[in-house]
Amino acid sequence: MSWQEYTVFLLESIGIYNRDLMLHYYRKVKKFMIWYKNKFNTKIEDIPDTAEIKLESKKKVISWRRIARAIEKNDFYLRRLSFGQTKNDDRELMELIHKWDNLLNRTTLTDDKTLQKIIEEKCS
């Protein structure tokens, strides 16, 4: 399976359980790709499956592996793709937490400290 196929698989898998979360990731990834297209004229078909790991970790290049890893790590704000936390994202997160509160609990695996803090506050 290529990293591109794996990214699609992750999005589809998330969509089985939570369509709203899948659409959130889809919108952010689409915005990421549009930015690269406008800035570097990189079309979707030109996105490499992988790039040099050092460049990926420094957020200098686009790759399907970088996108898949961000989704895989439950990076809600997609900081791994150079996004920041926005008010719209916060509002969307609170709506998701309210709607899917049975799925977000202390056992939710995430590296996102902000998301983890919100989950901890919800569970207290």
Q: Where are the domains of the chain?
A: 3-123
pTM score: 0.80
Per-residue burial over 3-16, b = 16 or more CB atoms within 10 Å of its CB, e = otherwise: bbebbeebbeebee
pLDDT digits (tens, 9 = 90+) for 81-113: 999 988 998 888 888 877 776 665 556 666 677
Report the distance separating Cα 97 and Cα 8, nearest Å: 24
Check: CB of residue 109 under 8 Å from CB of residue 116.
no
Residue identified by tokens 């791994």 is: 80
